[in-house]
Structure 1
């Protein structure tokens, strides 16, 4: 079983340099020489020697334990996996059309990537989901917490306050239609202060900080077991400058994707990534495609593209959401989305007042 470097007792500075150089597991360092490691990572030969000694010693002493863990991890039948899929929970988006094509919302235990041009609403949806993930279970939510990793500085706490306040008001409207005590009682803790205190915000300004933060997440999640959503808003931004080595970039991105998949499965949470678009020249045509290349295109389990609907650009239906990749995609590849450019929660409330129930369910979701 491969062991991640973050699990070794290395200094934070050395650990970050190893990850930045593309090393992810101990097995990648077992055959390397101290002089080679020193040159490739950018540390002294003494630090390289000490690092290799720690890794080799830890691998020797912990080999039986990790072998046993690997065996235990394989003991899962196909029937058990099928049952897990059938009982899968989702984080609703407050957009019924988007929830429908996703099979119920953003699924737990999977990675979802949202691609789109600037200003189309990717960050808006991320902030909305950071609130939605905290909806109590009796309302059809997962009653969890959120980690928000911001690489572009797009996070606006004032906007989150608006979304949270609207969501609280919407749930109070739903609770008012039920005679039982379960719904009003659940809303006692669903306050603006509690919602904001359960969104853990991290600002990463370059790819080194992003990699370090992602590889430190397992320890953070062990201390915050209720986290059900990890958001990386702007996965491409740190890798589009200060990194000219394309092979290194590909290796770092692949390692990052594997770490995200591992987090989603081991902690039973949803991972949401946003990505920018770039121009690709194909047969004298300029096409907008997701950034980071074709190899990254298969990293996420579900991939969506938000794009403008030119026919209705000036109406209440400004753009479309297209599913590029999803194991549970409905037959229709596209769905109109009318809520990204306005307040998603307020839109659901307007539907509720107009006699059309919002997407929030009052019972468990299937």
Structure 2
């Protein structure tokens, strides 16, 4: 059960969410003094909050929530069948789709980061490409889904979205026509306007807003139906800017990661997170790594790192429970992400 449903004042609920307490379970083993310090409130107020939590949990348990959890167990056969029917979002690059097992997996959280020199514009195109590709109609071999784009840095480029949508539609129609000579174009669905109308955009200006929107997604996705992709660009920005207490940051991030994993499973959608790069002192030297620390590195199902190899861009699967570590080249063109071309040149993006 969510903290937002508790009969508390808005200020106390806001403090709980900001400190990373998003559900009743996160408050199950904390004492009043510890909660008081975390929220900067009195011990009396903290004790009152925990009393409300205890009362609400007693009601929930009495209503049979524990039985629902037990009855929700899956067999190994069910899990295998789910994996065999797992859907993917194409990246528009055949080589990249191959190492990803068909594309970006639904029901999973995938983190993507780029080394210096890749350029934020290049990483942004990757995200936009997925938000467009997830909408390719089922009749044309796609998922026919909708996308949610959470922008924490103000880098969303709607003109680029329109451009990539036009190219995706044209390529989809051309490829489909080669295989089906007598096909009929689905006019309304295969228009850039329709693709843009199915991208729901949230502009986030603080980490508290980021947490609040993620907590709201469960309800929003249930109302919209058929959302198949959630993009956060970037998950890192506000958590590197606004935090001095690293222990608090770790707790908040852990709660957010758990929420995103649950959303991916519950709605059979893909969650894609953009991360920034930082340096870490390892074995006597500074090495590049993705930001937010070691604990965050375990929060996502898959981790993909984009890098340069000479004049070509590559994507490397750094971590995945089901995919082998592998690299694939790709290009960033006026149409968006595409298979690598022999004449691609390295251009420094400011």
Question: What TM-score comes out, normalization by structure 1 length?
Answer: 0.84
Tell me which residue corresponds to 1:353.
none
Counterpart Cα distance in 2 of 1:218 and 1:161: 28
Cα pair 1:95 1:344 within 8 Å, conserved? no
Helix, strand or coil: the match of 1:184?
A: coil
Tell me which residue corresponds to 1:228.
228
Count of paired positions: 335
Tell me which residue corresponds to 1:356.
none
Cα pair 2:137 2:189 within 8 Å, conserved? no
Cα pair distance change 1:84/1:172, threshold 3 Å: same
Tell me which residue corresponds to 1:155.
156
Cα pair 1:103 1:328 within 8 Å, conserved? no
The RMSD of aligned alpha carbons is 2.5
Cα pair distance change 1:6/1:99, threshold 3 Å: farther
Helix, strand or coil: the match of 2:219?
A: helix
Offset of residue 51 of structure 1: 4.3
Helix, strand or coil: the match of 1:17?
A: helix
Tell me which residue corresponds to 2:346.
none
Tell me which residue corresponds to 1:93.
91
Counterpart Cα distance in 2 of 1:152 and 1:289: 20
Tell me which residue corresponds to 2:114.
116
Counterpart Cα distance in 2 of 1:235 and 1:225: 24
Gaps of 5+ in 1: 351-366
User: In the alignment, does 2:190 pair up with 1:196?
Assistant: no
Match runs of 1:2-151 below 5 Å? 3-8=1-6, 10=8, 12-29=10-27, 37-42=35-40, 51-63=49-61, 64-74=63-73, 76-117=74-115, 119=119, 121-151=122-152
Match runs of 1:242-261 below 5 Å? 242-261=242-261
Counterpart Cα distance in 2 of 1:327 and 1:180: 42
Deviations 1:246-278 (A, max 9, x none): 111111111111111111001110000011111
Question: What TM-score comes out, normalization by structure 2 length?
Answer: 0.87
Tell me which residue corresponds to 1:329.
323
Gaps of 5+ in 2: 342-350
Cα pair 1:116 1:277 within 8 Å, conserved? yes
Cα pair 1:175 1:184 within 8 Å, conserved? no
Cα pair distance change 1:299/1:30, threshold 3 Å: closer
Counterpart Cα distance in 2 of 1:10 and 1:210: 21
